[in-house]
Amino acid sequence: MKKDRFVPKEELLRQEEIANALSSYWKEQGKTPLAMVITYGCQQNENDSERIRGMLSQMGYGFTENKEEADLILFNTCAVREGAEQRVLGNVGALKHLKKRNPELIVGICGCMMQQQQVAEQIKSKYRHVSLVFGTHVVHRLPELLSETVMKKRRVFCTDDSEGVIAEDIPILREADCKAWVSVMYGCNNFCTYCIVPYVRGRERSRKPEKILAEIKILAERGVKEITLLGQNVNSYGKDADFGMDFADLLREVNKIDGIFRIRFMTSHPKDMSDRLIDAMAECDKVMPQLHLPFQAGSTRVLSEMNRKYTKEQYLALVEKVRAKLGAISMTSDIIVGFPGETEEDFQETLDVLEKVRFDSVFSFIYSKRTGTPAATMDNQVPEEVQHERFERLLELQNRISREINEEYFEKTVELLVEGASKTDSGVLSGRTPEGKIVNFPDDGETKTGDLITVKITKVSTWSLAGEKIG
């Protein structure tokens, strides 16, 4: 890997100094400014937002969930589907009035959408109330960019087109206390023909193993029990470098860290799911029995048009191999419906994979045209009604399968890592099984976030399980 992919220490120190200067500026003003960070998209973006909050805190900011009292509203955006982009533009547009009432308010947009030059340009010319825009490759420069907006009252736009960098040791304010996301690599080299991610996240670049392991050790000392290793395609970890370590080796090292109980990872690309990794999963006691292995489409012809580099048969054989070595682990997948040229027969192949594999759950998406990707200009786009109709049939089938799998949990005893209060019910706590299933149970007043407990399942539904604590 090229050396200049690592942001030099001096540059990070420079950012830290600017952050401290802004913090002093606020102190002099006798003010604790409040920031609201709104995140769209995948865990990678959530993880970036945690870093953004870390830097904001260093710059003297507190946090709010209330737009009316915010001094800074920052949207960390996702570009993967058009729907996600429209939602952001709608929400940013709606802030125009608030900005009129409160001219000191800074509205900012960052993340994957801003790596697309045409979108950043559109914001510059049509969303005049937005005064801070930056892309995914310059997140570590937030202190400099925000200071310029605050102190010089300038509109600041910073999107660079490089292949991306790795910035280490940036302050981070994490969302949860018992579990944490840890990025092991950034970017993607796969260029699936429908996907914008390689264009907005740059080339694959792996963090040094010693940096990853040091981060996890610190988390373990702080009481974090579960780690999810993140990357667009974790199985190609290390291929861009000469660490002498691949993802399987990394997993074995993480497994040795005391205090961590559970390890998960995502996402795995089927073409890179090596025997070494399956063996590591089998041998590492803390690696949970769960695998997210997106297949995207069942038809081998469509898979080839998507540039996925495997056939339907190879995918099914891989699932069999995984199950033969790892037993009845929980499996999940991503699926795209209505890719250009998808016929009814092709779609039937997708349903066939669902029937054969019986995933615990799937994330299914209607194909969305992304400007700049090869699939956007394919001339056989599937009409919207057909896409929707296929999508509904897919959901119906998967809901039945998910429910049948969940029903097998009825009256079973499971181990849960308690994650905290349920998002929907008061007086109810929520935790996850080793397979990653959410279980709600009544709060007995004694159970704490991060506890490992035993629960008997008393109720099952398509989406979740409910139970009673028995130990």
Chain residues that interact with ligand F3S, rule: CB under 6 A? 41-42, 44-45, 78-80, 112, 196-197, 200-201
Torsion of CA 338, 341, 343, 346, to 10 degrees: -80
Which of ligand SF4, ligand SAH, ligand F3S, none does residue 78 bind (CB under 5 to 8 Å by kind)? ligand F3S
Residue type, 125: S
Which of ligand SAH, ligand F3S, ligand SF4, none does residue 347 bind (CB under 5 to 8 Å by kind)? none
Q: Which of residues 238-297 bind ligand SF4 (CB under 6 A)?
A: 269
Which of ligand SAH, ligand SF4, ligand F3S, none does residue 191 bind (CB under 5 to 8 Å by kind)? ligand SF4
- State in angstroms the smallest separation of the CB of 269 from ligand SF4: 5
Between vectors from CA 264 to CA 249 and to CA 322, what angle results, nearest 5°? 75
Residue 244 near residue 208, CB atoms below 8 Å:
no
* Separation CA 239–CA 261 (nearest Å): 28
Between the alpha carbon of residue 4 and those of residues 9, 17, 164, 416, the distances in Å are 12, 22, 10, 43
Residue 134 near residue 158, CB atoms below 8 Å:
yes
DSSP state letter for 241: S
Which of ligand SAH, ligand F3S, ligand SF4, none does residue 198 bind (CB under 5 to 8 Å by kind)? ligand SF4
- State in angstroms the smallest separation of the CB of 374 from ligand SAH: 11
Residue 166 near residue 4, CB atoms below 8 Å:
no
- State in angstroms the smallest separation of the CB of 437 from ligand F3S: 23
Q: What are phi and psi of 418, to 5 degrees?
A: -75, 125
Q: Which of 137, 269, 286, 312 binds ligand SAH (CB under 6 A)?
A: 269
For ligand F3S, the closer CB: 136 or 361: 136
Which of ligand SAH, ligand SF4, ligand F3S, none does residue 44 bind (CB under 5 to 8 Å by kind)? ligand F3S
419 strand-pairing partners: none
* Separation CA 169–CA 440 (nearest Å): 36
- Based on the shown chain and the rule CB under 6 A, indicate whether residue 79 belongs to the binding site for ligand SF4: no
| Coil vs helix vs strand at 14 | helix
| Coil vs helix vs strand at 368 | coil
209-221 helix and 247-255 helix, angle to the nearest 10 degrees: 30
Between the alpha carbon of residue 248 and those of residues 244, 275, 281, 287, 435, the distances in Å are 11, 9, 8, 11, 20
**CB count in 10 Å sphere of residue 191:** 13
Q: Which of 233, 433, 440, 449 binds ligand SF4 (CB under 6 A)?
A: 233
Residue type, 363: F
Q: Tell me, residue by residue from 169 to 208, as one string, x for binding to ligand SF4 by CB under 6 A and - for no binding.
A: -------------------x-xxx--x-xx----------
Which of ligand SF4, ligand F3S, ligand SAH, none does residue 79 bind (CB under 5 to 8 Å by kind)? ligand F3S
Q: Which of residues 354-373 bind ligand SAH (CB under 6 A)?
A: 365, 367-368, 370
- State in angstroms the smallest separation of the CB of 125 from ligand SAH: 26
- Based on the shown chain and the rule CB under 6 A, indicate whether residue 334 belongs to the binding site for ligand SAH: yes
For ligand F3S, the closer CB: 112 or 224: 112
Closest CA to 256 of 231, 232, 284, 235: 284
For ligand SF4, the binding residues (CB under 6 A) are 188, 190-192, 195, 197-198, 232-233, 269
For ligand SAH, the binding residues (CB under 6 A) are 80-81, 194-195, 197, 232-233, 267, 269, 294, 296, 334, 336, 365, 367-368, 370
